[in-house]
Amino acid sequence: MIRLFVVVFLLLVQSVSAEEVEREVKRNQVGWLDSFVYYYKSSCSVSAFPVPKIKAEPENGEIIFQKRPMELTDKAGRCKGKKVKGMVVFYKPNKGFKGQDVVRVSYRIVHDGGVTYDYRKYVIDVK
C-alpha cells in the first residue's frame, strides 16, 4: 500500500514530456533551436526557470543556453507585451561542417505544482 502511495505521489509531483525538434541552421552561423519562458498568468512574472542538462552532446558543434529578457506574445493573453526572463537555446556548428547533427537535452523545471521534466531531441540540419 505504501509503495502504491509513493508511485501515485511521484506521478502527481513529476510530469514528463518528450519531443523531437527539427531545425535548420546555416553553415558557420549560430542558429536558434528553442525558447522557454514560464510565467504566472495572474502577475505576468516569471514562475520557473528551466535547468538544462545535455544528455547527448552534438558531434559537430555546440549548444549554447542563454538567459535573456523575452517579450510575451499574443498567446499570453493579458500578459502580451510584458518582458520576462526566459531561456533561448542556440546551436553553433563547427567551422565548415555541413550535414546533420543531433543533441539530446533534459530540462528540469521546478514550479509551485512540483517538478516537470522536459526532454528534447534536437535534429539539426546544417546547410
Count of structural domains within the chain: 1
The CATH number linked to 116 is 2.60.40
Q: Would residue 119 count as lying in a domain? A: yes
Per-residue pLDDT reduced to its tens digit, 102-124: 999 999 998 887 898 999 999 99
Higher pLDDT, 39 or 66: 66
What are the start-end ranges of the E strands in 29-127? 31-36, 38-39, 46-48, 51-56, 61-71, 83-93, 99-111, 114-126
Element of type H or E holding 23: strand 14-25
What is the model's pLDDT at position 16? 54
Residue type, 9: F
Q: Cell 543533441, residue? A: 103
What separation in angstroms does the CA of 9 have from each of 43, 113, 114? 29, 12, 11
Per-residue pLDDT reduced to its tens digit, 11-61: 334 455 679 999 999 999 999 999 999 888 889 988 888 999 999 999 999
Q: What is the extent of the structural domain holding 116?
A: 15-126
